[in-house]
Structure 1
């Protein structure tokens, strides 16, 4: 499943989800707003049309999406030590 090409809007939604989750941990004063944003993004990710296609039907595709989104946010984590 490595090197799967996901739709750009799906990857962007996953990146936003990770950023929002990190903000929720760092800024508890804005918890209600950030939780609503996480819920909205989670729905957007879950119901994206990509998951109805052949490559998207694999449970591993969702894991690959998360890994690609995290790698794009933290490019240093991909580099060898």
Structure 2
């Protein structure tokens, strides 16, 4: 066991095949979720429908049939999409 073994890794997960469509879908899901979270928004129905469609695309993407550790890969995907989204906003 190393001295840093219990610390979080600062590296970002990258899938071996780099499914860009999956990362883009996760980024779109994040943006839609954030738009839906705006208080006193009136057009929530369209955002809810979009969030549901994106959730289905994320859940049933063919990549998950080949991923070794699906829970870790899903977490890594969310982190990667957030990182790329923050980089684009900067």
Per the TM superposition, whether the score is higher than 0.5 is yes
Structure 1: stretches of 5+ with no match in the other structure: 77-81
Give runs of ≥4 in structure 1 deviating > 3 Å: none
Compute the displacement of 1:2 (Å): 4.3
Greater helix content: 1
For 1:1-80, what aligned pairs fall within 5 Å after superposition? 2-5=12-15, 6-26=18-38, 28-55=41-68, 57-75=69-87
TM-score computed with the length of structure 1 as normaliser: 0.81
User: In 1, Cα distance between the equivalents of 2:76 and 2:59?
Assistant: 14
TM-score between the two structures when normalised by the length of structure 2? 0.74
Structure 2 unmatched runs, 5+: 1-10
In the alignment of these two chains, the number of paired residues is 75
- Structure number with bigger Rg: 2
